[in-house]
A and B are shown apart, each in its own frame.
Chain A
Amino acid sequence: VRTSIERQRYLIDFTLSSLLRRKTKNGGLLVIYTLIVFVLASVMFFTDAIKREASIVLAEAPEIVVQRMVAGRHDLFPQRDISKISDIRGVSQAGGRLWGYYFDPAVRANYTVMVPDEAVVAPGTATIGAGVSRARLVSVGDTVSFRSRDGSALHLTIGEILSSESELVSSDLILVSEPDFRSLFGLPTDYVTDVTVRVANPAELVTIATKITQILPDSRPILRDEILRTYDSVFSWRGGMMVVILSAAVLAFVIFAWDKASGLSAEERREIGILKAVGWETSDVILMKFWEGAVVSVSAFQVGVILAYLHVFFGSSAVFEPALKGWSSLYPDFKLVPLIDPGQLSTLFFLTVVPYTVSTIVPSWRAATIDPDAAMRQS
């Protein structure tokens, strides 16, 4: 066993000397390879972490949200129709929600204005999310003015700022009292924005949603499962921008593995010829090439994954930030909870390290099986 280990160590010594002889080429290769693993691992860490948080947090969202549709658009829901929903057998609670959007021209940001159901916000006051506080530079006790529907100013005193730990759900929220909400948007008292429905037995959800559309044909029920599925698909490996990022990275990797697999340089071919001439077996050459592939790919994989972890969980995914922020003036400052999925990590390992190592061995095997004299002459 000791002889075998010693033999492998001599091979690694030789391989490293061989790689260091072509420092610039192999150094460049290592940097590109590390960069590809870094991008792929960053996407993986980011999507996994955000999907996990969405699934935990939104598991408490209302079982059914019922919207009224007019001419294909979301419209206000008449209060009188709420009782038609709460009378359906299996519905434990149905209540109207009051919420809307307010565009603040001062900072060019969109806020979500809501009337809380349980927590009480006194008229004339508002509870704001940490993002709103940052955007408007306001804190508890300050007064903020909003332009009402009729052009008059609505002055609200900040009573509380929601904790920064909850920014992922509350960054742009402004919680106000019902009278303030109705006067801000000019909403009639007999209308709400939409209706939330609580159902005791989850098995009855689809049946109840079907009944709602039968009783109120102009309504659109949205099930909690659909909400959860939305967030699963937004950050899916198979959907949207992730496909663009991934396909670019995978394509770069394929090109560069293909370049490796398609042939050896004249110098490498001559090196193999000399090694064979001085007595190396074909198996020794293949083993040496295996180590060459393994040294580059394992180093790139490890460094790429560690850098990706630091980037996503300590550097706030700075590389993805421009795409995620887009046109937003108000962006939540949230820290993702780190998550390492061993299954995903092993998939990444087998997709990057194995093909590269194999693509290094194959052409060397072809060169190592021909006569050393011919190998040296061909170069």
Chain B
Amino acid sequence: VRKSDVFLLAVSTCVLLLGVCVLHAARARAASSMALKEMTAMVRSLELTDLCLFTEARYTRHLSQADLNTPFQDYPMSLEHYPSGSLVMPPETIRRIGAHLD
């Protein structure tokens, strides 16, 4: 067997697997519509505002509802205590004001 044949076979297999991933994504999206509908209905009826991603602190549980000063207790670009707090950047306006502090 020629080496080029083995390589081309491996590349074709990977392309096929990528195709399977694309198909899987499309099928999973179609199958998930019920779960999304259920979550959407829950958000509407309970008037929820945030995703339950980080429950470690108040301002990371409800990112959109936190006081503007809460996550940046010391100064606008201070390092965060909680790991998830560092996922969120302060708004651009606050970053501009705090830039000289860094």
CB-based contact A303/B49 at 8 Å: no
Proximity bits, B50-68, A CB within 8 Å = 1, else 0: 1111111110111111010
Given A222-B65, A227-B50, verify A60-B56 contact (CB < 8 Å): no
Proximity bits, B1-45, A CB within 8 Å = 1, else 0: 011100110110011011001101100110010111011111111
Q: Cβ of B38: which chain A residues have Cβ within 8 Å of it? A: 163, 165-166
- CB-nearest residue of chain A to B27: A338
Given A309-B21, A340-B21, verify A17-B28 contact (CB < 8 Å): no
A84 within 8 A of B: no
Q: Cβ of A73: which chain B residues have Cβ within 8 Å of it? A: 67
Q: Cβ of B57: which chain A residues have Cβ within 8 Å of it? A: 110, 327
Interface residues of A in 281-332 (CB under 8 A from B): 295, 298-299, 302-303, 305-306, 309, 313, 322-332
CB-based contact B52/A53 at 8 Å: no
What's the least CB distance linking B82 to chain A, in Å? 5
A252 within 8 A of B: no
Q: Cβ of A69: which chain B residues have Cβ within 8 Å of it? A: 67
Q: Cβ of B40: which chain A residues have Cβ within 8 Å of it? A: 56-57, 59-60
- CB-nearest residue of chain A to B24: A338
B48 within 8 A of A: yes
Q: Cβ of A114: which chain B residues have Cβ within 8 Å of it? A: 46
CB-based contact B83/A327 at 8 Å: yes
* Tally of contact residues, B, Cβ under 8 A: 57
Given A222-B64, A239-B88, A338-B29, verify A167-B52 contact (CB < 8 Å): yes
A131 within 8 A of B: yes
Given A13-B4, A114-B46, A305-B18, verify A101-B61 contact (CB < 8 Å): yes
Contact-residue bracket for chain A: 35 or more
CB-based contact A9/B45 at 8 Å: no
Interface residues of A in 174-195 (CB under 8 A from B): 175, 194
Given A67-B65, A72-B69, A240-B87, verify A170-B55 contact (CB < 8 Å): no
CB-based contact A172/B52 at 8 Å: yes
B78 within 8 A of A: no
Quick one: which of B2, B14, B36 contacts A13, CB cutoff 8 A? B2
Given A65-B49, A234-B88, A340-B21, verify A72-B67 contact (CB < 8 Å): yes
CB-based contact A332/B4 at 8 Å: no
Q: Cβ of A255: which chain B residues have Cβ within 8 Å of it? A: none
Given A58-B43, A337-B29, verify A74-B36 contact (CB < 8 Å): no
Interface residues of A in 3-20 (CB under 8 A from B): 9-10, 12-13, 16-17, 20
A1 within 8 A of B: no
Given A114-B46, A306-B14, verify A326-B65 contact (CB < 8 Å): no
CB-based contact A231/B51 at 8 Å: yes
CB-based contact A328/B2 at 8 Å: no
Q: Among B7, B18, B22, which residue has the most Cβ atoms of chain A within 10 A?
A: B7
Interfacial residues, chain A to chain B (CB-CB below 8 A): 9-10, 12-13, 16-17, 20, 50, 53-54, 56-62, 65, 67, 69, 72-74, 97, 101, 109-110, 112, 114, 116-119, 129, 131, 162-163, 165-173, 175, 194, 196, 222, 226-227, 230-231, 233-235, 239-242, 295, 298-299, 302-303, 305-306, 309, 313, 322-332, 337-340
A-B contact pairs, 13 of them (CB 8 A): A9-B2, A12-B8, A13-B3, A57-B40, A67-B65, A118-B45, A172-B52, A196-B47, A235-B87, A326-B60, A327-B82, A337-B28, A337-B29
List of 6 A-B pairs having minimum Cβ-Cβ separation, nearest first? A302-B14, A326-B83, A338-B25, A12-B4, A165-B35, A327-B56
